[in-house]
Structure 1
Amino acid sequence: MALDAQELRGKTPDELREQLSQLKKEQFNLRFQAATNQIENTARMRVVRRDVARVMTILNQKAAEAAGTEA
Structure 2
Amino acid sequence: MDAKALRDLEDKDLVTHIKTQRRELFGLRFQHATGELENTASLKTAKREIARALTVARERGIDTDKA
Is the structural similarity TM-score above 0.5?
yes
Decide which of 16, 19, 22 is 2:20's aligned counterpart: 22
Runs of 4+ residues deviating >6 angstroms: none
If each structure's helix is expressed as a fraction of its own residues, which one has the higher value?
1
Fraction of identical pairs, as percent:
34
Secondary structure at 1:40's aligned position in 2? coil
Decide which of 17, 21, 36 is 2:34's aligned counterpart: 36
Structure 2 CA distance, aligned partners of 1:40 and 1:29? Answer: 13
**TM-score (ref. length: structure 2):** 0.88
Corresponding pairs, count: 62
**TM-score (ref. length: structure 1):** 0.83
User: Which runs of 5 or more residues in structure 1 are unaligned?
Assistant: 65-71
**Higher-Rg member (1/2):** 1
